Amino acid sequence: MVRLGITGTPGTGKTSVSSELSRITGWKVVHVNDIALEFSIDVYKDSSVIDVERLEEKLRNIDGNVIFESHLLCEMKLNLDYMIVLRCNPIELKRRLALKGWDSDKIKTNVEAEYLDYCLIKSERNYPRVFQVDTTNLTPKEVAVRILDIIKGGKDDDVDWSDQLFKSL
Ligand SMILES: Nc1ncnc2c1ncn2[C@@H]1O[C@H](COP(=O)(O)OP(=O)(O)OP(=O)(O)O)[C@@H](O)[C@H]1O
Ligand SMILES: [Mg+2]
């Protein structure tokens, strides 16, 4: 059995890649954001406040070969065999988020999170086996194939956007 997590900044392609990976492997996809809404206990500034402990318990008890996907995963501690952090060059990420129709403040917050390795740092605190895939120049299908290669022991990507950040200052 394989329990795989896919996390990353919004727009890195988690949902697209999960469905490609599921198509190739037959593993079921759990869209954690959707399940999280079942554990909403309050609303604050237009966002749901989630009972994370109960959500984690529910996710821990899903069995079989599973692909869990969400940016929320990096904040949790689940029983995952592999945690994949999808990465995207912040310039390309800005383009993808603009295509989603997001406003400029929301885009800026997420591009900053990508520059600062937010999901990677959180994942490394919460999970023992964390691997990165740079999606910038790959299709979702190619990213899915990269993930399968990593599971088989292949090397992951070493991502560092700091050079680009300093050049832009
Ligand atoms: N590898 C890719 N190359 C180019 N565009 C991509 C790639 N992956 C996803 N996209 C596009 O970027 C957008 C975001 O993709 P997707 O919704 O899969 O990201 P996500 O990480 O699930 O985002 P969210 O956290 O907001 O759910 C979509 O318009 C998708 O078509
Ligand atoms: Mg998504």
Q: Encode pLDDT of 131-144 as tens digits.
A: 999 999 999 999 99
Query: According to the model, what pLDDT value does residue 141 have?
Result: 98
| Whether the CB of 11 sits within 6 Å of ligand 1 | yes
Query: According to the model, what pLDDT value does residue 169 have?
Result: 72
Query: Do 56 and 78 form a contact (C-beta atoms < 8 A)?
Result: yes
Q: 18, 13, 52, 23: which is closest to 35 by C-alpha?
A: 52
Average pLDDT over residues 80-99: 97
3-154 has which fold?
Rossmann fold (3.40.50)
pLDDT single digits (tens) 96-128? 999 999 999 999 999 999 999 999 999 999 999
Query: Do 127 and 83 form a contact (C-beta atoms < 8 A)?
Result: yes
pLDDT single digits (tens) 29-60? 999 999 999 999 999 888 889 999 999 999 99
Which residue, by CA, sits nearest to atom 27 of ligand 1? 10
Report the distance separating Cα 132 and Cα 68, nearest Å: 16
Q: What is the pTM of this model?
A: 0.96
Examine the pLDDT at 164 and tell me if it is beyond 90.
no
pLDDT single digits (tens) 14-29? 999 999 999 999 999 9
Read off the pLDDT band of 2 (50, 70, 90).
very high
Q: What three-state secondary structure class fits 100?
A: coil
| Whether the CB of 87 sits within 6 Å of ligand 1 | no
> So where are the chain's domains?
3-154
- What is the pLDDT of the chain when averaged over all its residues? 96
Report the distance separating Cα 18 and Cα 143, nearest Å: 10
For the CA of 18, the nearest ligand: 1
Q: How far is the CA of 166 from the centre of ligand 2 (A)?
A: 29
Query: According to the model, what pLDDT value does residue 163 have?
Result: 86
Average pLDDT over residues 75-104: 97
For the CA of 7, the nearest ligand: 1
The one-letter code for the residue type at 65 is N
Q: Which residue out of 7, 15, 68 has the highest number of ligand 1 atoms within 8 Å of its CB and is therefore the one to mutate?
A: 15
Query: According to the model, what pLDDT value does residue 165 have?
Result: 80
Which DSSP string do the residues of 3-26 spell out, in sequence order?
Answer: EEEEEESTTS-HHHHHHHHHHHH-
What φ, ψ does residue 139 adopt, rounded to 5°?
-80, 160
Examine the pLDDT at 168 and tell me if it is beyond 80.
no
Which residue, by CA, sits nearest to atom 8 of ligand 1? 13
